[in-house]
Amino acid sequence: MEYEAVIGLETHCQLKTKSKMFCGCANEFGADPNTNVCPVCLGMPGVLPVPNELALQLTALTGYLLNCEVPEFAKFDRKNYFYPDVCKDYQITQFDFPSTTTGYVDFEFGSKIERVRITRAHLEEDVGKNNHFDQHSGVDFNRAGVPLLEIVSEPDISSADMAYDYLNALKDILIYGGISDCDMEKGMVRCDVNISVRPKGVTELGTKVEIKNMNTFSGVRRAINYEVPRQIETLESGGTLVQETRRWDDDAGMTETMRSKEHAHDYRYFPEPDLMPLRPSEAWLEEVRKHVVELPLARKQRFIQDYNIPAQDAEVFVGNVSLGDFFEKAVDGSKNAKTIANWVINNLQARLVESELTIDELKFGPEAIRELVEIIDVGEISNKGGQEVFTELFNNGGSPKAIVDARGLAQVSDSGELDKWCRDAIDANPGPADDVRNGRENAINFLKGQVMKASRGKANPQMVGETLFKLLKG
Amino acid sequence: MILHELTIGELTAKLASKEVSSREAMLACLDRIDAVDNRINAFISLDREDALGQAEAADAALAKGASHNEQSLLGVPVSLKDIFCVKNQPANCASKILGDFLSPYDGSVVQKLKQAGAVIFGRVNMDEFAMGSSTENSAFGRTCNPWDLERVPGGSSGGCAASVVAQECFGSIGTDTGGSIRQPSALCGCVGIKPTYGRVSRFGVIAFASSLDQVGPMARNVHDTAALLGAIAGHDPKDSTSVPAEVPDYVGGLDVNLDGIKLGLPKEFLGAGIDPEVQSIFDAAVRQYEALGAEIQEISLPHTEYGVATYYILATAEASANLARFDGVRYGDRVEGDDPFALYCNTRGKGFGDEVKRRIILGTYVLSSGYYDAYYIRAQKVRSLIKQDFDQALEKVDALITPTVPYTAFKAGEKTDDPLQMYLSDIFTISCNLTGTCGVSLPCGFTSSPKLPVGLQLLGKPFGEQELLKIAYAYEQATPWHKERVML
Amino acid sequence: MSNSDFDIKYVANLARIRLTSDQEARLGSQLGDILGYIKKLEELDISNVEPMAHAVPLHNVMRADQVQPSITNEEALANAPKTANGLFIVPKIVE
């Protein structure tokens, strides 16, 4: 029998705020244990939470970027479970009225655009971090209370690779929107993976297994690549699957049942009485919408379509937003986007990297690149001259035309002068001239070289070729 | 002049005129505690040095010309229920589970009291985690009613009421989740107000039921209660449920004119179950109001009988989560276990008393999978109905008038085996917490034998504390009850 | 709203409270009485009633994203029953 995998992902990402979700402690990675803490995020007796407005704004913004609805009413709930890293032994989250619902993410997968639907993206507080020793565990609450967005997908994913590409696309969107730095090394993104399998053609879902706390995308890919065949083999050998929570052991390369989930749990969600409901006003949402940015995929497609540049170039401008923005300004009013893209990517980007400068530190504006390409296109300077102009621009700023004038880089396109240089060259080199006349046209390059030399590089090379040909082959 | 007998009004006048120092007032309280508290057991703990230090600081401020216009409670010793967090002081909620916990921070009410110049001292007894109506559920022993030591002072703020009435302090700050200020005020014979939900910050108050808890003062008369309320009321950005509304001048608003005031007599409160002597004392109080010019009119609160059931679902559900944090990891007494699960079960099994366990288990059950809609959501809906009753009634009248408790203080041990009966005694006070409105209890007479105080409850509109205190004040000034002092 | 299936052992376990068998019996029967009383609410028709979660009608209460001082590690751990290396120590967590 042929089986198919049905996979949904719950992606948790830490929001890019200065302070925590419900208190003023710094949202900062890497501090000494239990130093970014206060009575509120330690769950001391008597404390109360006050929500961080920026976290709520970033949640709504995520909603817009993931094509979600941002409902008129949302609220916080308590999710009750005892665990050492949960400071109050309940977590503040959003249960039945989350801040955003029903959206989707489109992303490139193979040669196609795939869509994974988003069930919801809700706001909650992160928990502390458990450190494990031989005999004991130790809890650090620095992370407790950091605003965490949980993005729940529909089970629209059918393979490990698709999950991997979805996660990367999601990450790009969150970084693009300034919602999260998504630094995997710092644990800013974590995933729970829900996996079931079913015979192809069957519509009802199989028994769901949840793999918790994955902290790398490649781990997610490996875990799915392990878990799907495990489930299929279990079914094929006549076994049954139990709905359970499993843990991915990256070293062993396998999933295993989580023991900590053996004790009875029942989250007993109920509305958080310490927090008032949310009814975002139109003005508040309008403020959030001002931060909506173009998504990476849309940007790539637009660059390819509007500027007719290769996909590879478009990807550079998606990956480096400020470079892409610079390119767009340079291209404005120009007919040669492709050449401008080349200059921006091959020259400008390279020089920026080399000199460790950012685009804001440039001594010239995007219009200088447009002008440079224009004067090369009309033959006013050669490509080589162009390089010289660019170097000068990069080092000292100015306008390309002024640099050309100052350095005498303009090409000679005057036919009288060119005619003279060409006749001189033919007269001085009868051998090659005869060769051309006799059909060995390659010999013209030698004559061209002589003309360029005589003109000290200023002769327009294309016109030199044309003139020589006319004189020799008439 | 017996210093410990003074009201806050009298004391501040004497402090201002330098006739009495804050240190003397504080020492008078400490002497009184030494003399009577072995019988009353209102105080769980007492930091004498800290108290005298605060009093001396107040005296220094007074000497430099500080006035009660800016700091209304400057130099006034006030006791605190063992539920408030004061930096570097214990807060046990009368439970074993907090062990030798010292608060790392000041709660907002404490900050406000300090700003007002009050000398805040002592931790007074209560029912463990404010769960109870008798101050018998305390890991620190029961508190006795100053009028009859065999009897309970009410609860959960029994230590507050007893300490005020036994003159061990000049006023006390308590909390009220289902009547915990008003009921002990009634049973001990002092004045206590539960303000409107959101009027006083809950930040720094160990939570029992977050949507019902409210902080309020207890004192020897209406004026003192108004003065304390004025000091602690107001918006607090650290409490998301705190309401940004102006705080009126409660003391300045007191007057004895009841012209045009309408009082509603809820007919559902006056059915069976009220002790006949309490009933006749209450009836006399109602007549007194009529004599003072108030118009009495019968009104209906049809869902009154569902209040207790609604309350015990919502309050215990919230408590089950609020008290989860007492797990032996970050603070409090720990009972070790082989794994975190065992650690939690052992710690909580040993640390919580029976009533707290009962309520946590009830609250856990009503929230559990399969029961949530049947219990919790249903109770929230009934809460809406009770709120509608109040809204409608308070459109017709300025305040409701009821007995605070259907009977007088009962004997210790009398109801401990029957928690349901204990719960039902809250029937008159509970609705006010469900609706989030304000309520005050004040003495309206004494039974003859034994001589025990009876409380009158006035229930007002949201943020109608000023009006409510005025109505209470007019009655108080016309009657002798607030002048009664207990003999100890 | 049946309470016939009220299982005190199970619920106490969920609440992480160890009970002696005496306590189980006593609290179990008291809670049975209370649950019996609470059934009273079934008498009411609540079909068109909105649930009430808060006593005051506030919404959108929030604070600006500003960092406030934290407390020190020493202060954070001051009340903890067991600590080491700046951490709160618990029995080994098996995941």
- Residue C1: pLDDT band (50, 70, 90) is very low
Look at A450 and B304; give whichever has higher pLDDT: B304
**Judging by beta carbons within 10 Å of its beta carbon (0-12, 13-18, 19+), is residue B295 exposed, middle or buried?**
middle
> Does the residue B387 lie in any domain?
no
Chain C: partners with 3+ C-beta pairs within 8 Å: A, B
Chain B: partners with 3+ C-beta pairs within 8 Å: A, C
| Share above pLDDT 70 across residues of chain A, in percent, rounded to a whole number | 97
pLDDT at residue A364 in the model: 83
Q: What is the mean predicted confidence (pLDDT) over A193-198? A: 93
Where exactly are the structural domains of chain C? 8-43
pLDDT at residue B243 in the model: 97
Number of domains in chain B: 1
**Token code pair at residue A97:** 């009225």
| Share above pLDDT 70 across residues of chain B, in percent, rounded to a whole number | 100
**Do C68 and A25 lie within an 8 Å CB cutoff?**
yes
B-chain residues within 8 Å CB-CB of C16?
A: 324, 327, 341, 344-345, 348
C25 touches chain B (CB under 8 A): no
**Do A137 and C93 lie within an 8 Å CB cutoff?**
yes
The overall average pLDDT reported for chain B is: 96
| Lowest-confidence segment of B224-228, B266-270, B389-393 by average pLDDT | B266-270
Overall size of chain C counted in residues: 95
Whether residue A241 is predicted with pLDDT greater than 90 in this model: the reply is: no
**Do B98 and A45 lie within an 8 Å CB cutoff?**
yes
> Does the residue B386 lie in any domain?
no
Q: Distance between CA B162 and CA B182 in Å, rounded?
A: 13
**Judging by beta carbons within 10 Å of its beta carbon (0-12, 13-18, 19+), is residue C60 exposed, middle or buried?**
middle
C-chain residues within 8 Å CB-CB of A273?
A: 53-54
Q: Distance between CA C25 and CA A205 in Å, rounded?
A: 43
**Do B361 and C81 lie within an 8 Å CB cutoff?**
no
**Token code pair at residue A146:** 């950091």
pLDDT at residue A422 in the model: 85
> Does the residue B447 lie in any domain?
no
Helices (H), A104-215: 160-176
B210 touches chain A (CB under 8 A): yes
Cα–Cα distances in angstroms (integers) from residue A412 to residues A35, A382, A421, A461, B19, in the given order? 71, 10, 11, 9, 107
Out of B21, B138, B180, B185, the active site residue is B180
> Does the residue B8 lie in any domain?
yes
| Share above pLDDT 90 across residues of chain B, in percent, rounded to a whole number | 95
A80 neighbors A267 (Cβ within 8 angstroms): yes
- Residue-wise pLDDT for B25-81, tens only, equals 999 999 999 999 999 999 999 999 999 999 999 999 999 999 999 999 999 999 999
pLDDT at residue B141 in the model: 97
- Residue-wise pLDDT for B432-452, tens only, equals 999 999 999 999 999 998 999
- Residue C2: pLDDT band (50, 70, 90) is very low
The overall average pLDDT reported for chain A is: 89
pLDDT at residue B74 in the model: 97
Residue A19: DSSP 8-state: B
- Residue-wise pLDDT for A264-318, tens only, equals 679 999 999 999 999 999 999 999 999 998 888 888 889 888 888 888 888 888 8
Task: Give contacts of B 141-180 with C, CB under 8 A.
Answer: none
pLDDT at residue A350 in the model: 85
Residue A105: phi and psi, rounded to 5, are -125, 125
Instruction: List domains and CATH numbers for chain A.
Output: 3-289 (no CATH), 296-407 (no CATH), 415-473 (1.10.10.410)
C56 touches chain B (CB under 8 A): yes
- pTM summary value: 0.90
What are A157's strand-pairing partners?
A: A7
Q: What is the mean predicted confidence (pLDDT) over B385-405? A: 96
Query: Could you say which of C17, C49, C91 has the minimum Cβ distance to residue B348?
Result: C17
Residue B152 sits in a domain whose CATH number is 3.90.1300.10
Whether residue A240 is predicted with pLDDT greater than 90 in this model: the reply is: no
Whether residue B172 is predicted with pLDDT greater than 60 in this model: the reply is: yes
| Lowest-confidence segment of A316-330, B338-352, C72-86 by average pLDDT | A316-330
pLDDT at residue A430 in the model: 84
Query: Could you say which of C10, C60, C89 has the minimum Cβ distance to residue A136?
Result: C89
C84 touches chain A (CB under 8 A): yes
pLDDT at residue B99 in the model: 96
**Token code pair at residue A230:** 């495990």
> Does the residue B394 lie in any domain?
no
Whether residue A414 is predicted with pLDDT greater than 70 in this model: the reply is: no
B50 touches chain C (CB under 8 A): no
Query: Could you say which of A23, A54, A260 has the minimum Cβ distance to residue C94?
Result: A260
The arrangement of strands across the sheet holding A77-80 comes to: A90-93, A77-80, A270-271
Whether residue A382 is predicted with pLDDT greater than 90 in this model: the reply is: no
Q: In B203-362, where do the E strands start and end?
A: 214-219, 262-266, 295-299
pLDDT at residue A386 in the model: 81
Out of B72, B103, B156, B242, the active site residue is B156
CA B191 to chain centre: 10
Query: HEC states along A301-345?
Result: HHHHHHHCCCHHHHHHHHHCHHHHHHHHHHHCCCCCHHHHHHHHH
Q: Distance between CA B249 and CA A124 in Å, rounded?
A: 41
> Does the residue B266 lie in any domain?
no
> Does the residue B428 lie in any domain?
no
**Do B85 and A80 lie within an 8 Å CB cutoff?**
no
Whether residue A393 is predicted with pLDDT greater than 90 in this model: the reply is: no
pLDDT at residue B17 in the model: 95
| Lowest-confidence segment of A27-31, B192-196, B197-201 by average pLDDT | A27-31
**Token code pair at residue B393:** 């009634």
Q: Distance between CA C78 and CA A130 in Å, rounded?
A: 19
Active site residue B156: yes
B114 neighbors B120 (Cβ within 8 angstroms): yes
Residue-range definition of the domain harbouring residue B129: 3-255+464-483
Per-residue burial over B333-370, b if 16 or more Cβ lie within 10 Å, else e, is bbbebebbbebbbbbbbebbbbbbbbbbbbbbbbbbee
CA B419 to chain centre: 20
> Does the residue B25 lie in any domain?
yes
Helices (H), A28-78: 53-65
C-chain residues within 8 Å CB-CB of B306?
A: 40-41, 44
* List of residues 6+ apart from B307 with CB closer than 8 A: B386, B427, B430, B431, B434
C58 touches chain A (CB under 8 A): yes
Q: What is the mean predicted confidence (pLDDT) over B456-460? A: 98
Look at B170 and A315; give whichever has higher pLDDT: B170
Q: What is the mean predicted confidence (pLDDT) over C11-35? A: 93
ipTM associated with this complex? 0.95
- Residue-wise pLDDT for A104-149, tens only, equals 999 999 889 999 999 999 999 999 999 999 899 999 999 999 999 9
